[in-house]
Structure 1
């Protein structure tokens, strides 16, 4: 009976810990999403009524800059909050692993848009956004499990 009680407590603690980790990971991801899309919008379109942002003529560069800022934020927030007990001593190696996982995630999302447009022949805003959401969901699962397994490991 004592064994079952200890097993039940251990399972409850493991599930509770996993949900906390998922919640933190999700919070960081949501904030990075806002930083990326909000930063891009401000850089290209500016504040409402401002007549455009400082990078309105260079939208691709603005997208890269906003994504880089969001990625750096995501790494710092995940390293020092979500996985604060598990980060590597070598921060440069950890950042390189983090970047590799995120490049794969970007390719998955872009790949979903490619499939939608090139293979299925869909080109509406709805189909693009649906493809991006599907790709984003798959990439987010990859990121979550890769961060736990390869990026934020105490070494």
Structure 2
């Protein structure tokens, strides 16, 4: 593959990853804002507390989407480590996201329903940049090309061995 083809291939791969991340993230934003408004208006909790609950619910939703859709082809060898890293980086994102909401609500006194939703959304946007970088770099790491090739070869070898050792049926008349 030429250098230009390699660059085009990598850009295409990154584009697909960003699109899948965006699809899951977009659905997660809807979950986040929906839960935020539901909790805020039905329970009377303070704005930032409602934001934290909504973020926690969307973190769970997003993990499922990222693991089984966006990064389903990534290394799965250590799920407990992956989940721990995901939760750790998500906690940082939670602080970023709700920190923006906190500053708007308590720093500037912007606490109307519209203002809270605007700053909740802005916080999600800032935190998303951090989450995209951290998830792809540390949580859902790509398998090195050599390991992928070895896995493919072992799958093919075991498939060939299965077909070679399968009993051949003959019909006699």
TM-score w.r.t. the length of structure 1 is 0.71
Q: CA deviation at 1:112?
A: 1.2
Q: Give the aligned length.
A: 140
2-structure distance, mates of 1:6, 1:58: 60
- Alignment RMSD (CA, Å): 3.0
Q: Are positions 1:27 and 2:15 aligned together?
A: no
Unaligned stretches of 5+ in structure 2? 144-173
Unaligned stretches of 5+ in structure 1? 46-55
1-structure distance, mates of 2:73, 2:127: 24
TM-score w.r.t. the length of structure 2 is 0.65
Q: CA deviation at 1:76?
A: 1.7
Deviation string, structure 1 residues 111-131 (Cα, Å, up to 9, x no partner): 112333444x24153543443
Deviation string, structure 1 residues 48-78 (Cα, Å, up to 9, x no partner): xxxxxxxx44768987765444322211221
What secondary structure does 1:16 align onto? helix
**Conserved 8 A contact 2:36-2:51:** yes
Q: How does 1:94-113 map to 2 (within 5 A)?
A: 94-113=82-101
Q: State the structure with more CA Rg.
A: 2
**Conserved 8 A contact 1:106-1:139:** yes
What secondary structure does 2:95 align onto? helix
Which residue of 6, 14, 17 corresponds with 1:18?
Answer: 14
Specify the alignment match of 2:110 in structure 1. Answer: 123
Report the more deviating stretch, 124-133 or 144-153.
Answer: 124-133
**Conserved 8 A contact 1:88-1:153:** no
Against the structure 1 CA distance between its residues 141 and 91, is the aligned structure 2 distance closer, same or farther, given a 3 Å change threshold? same
